Amino acid sequence: MSNKLKDMIAILLIGDGVVALLRPQRHVLLWKDGPEFYQDLMEPFVKMPGLTRLLSLFEIMVGLWLASVAEDV
């Protein structure tokens, strides 16, 4: 995977994680559109904002890790 792609993915993960950490229910509701199976998948996250926040922290950590393993140019 190229360093540019790693950085782009890291930025997306960190940014998405921070937004979901701050406003978990609002963030999940923005992504709840789509096929019925996807809506069903998102429903627990709407009802349990603590779970969304926990996964957001994990997402931020993965993004930070990914950014740290990118090689220097």
pLDDT tens string 1-52: 788 899 999 999 999 999 999 999 999 888 777 788 888 888 888 889 999 9
Calculate ∠ Cα 50-16-66, nearest 5°. 105
Q: How far apart are CA 30 and CA 46, in angstroms?
A: 10
> Domain segments of the chain: what residues?
24-67
**pLDDT for position 24:** 94
Q: Report CA-CA distances (Å) from 7 to 12, 17, 61, 66.
A: 9, 15, 14, 7
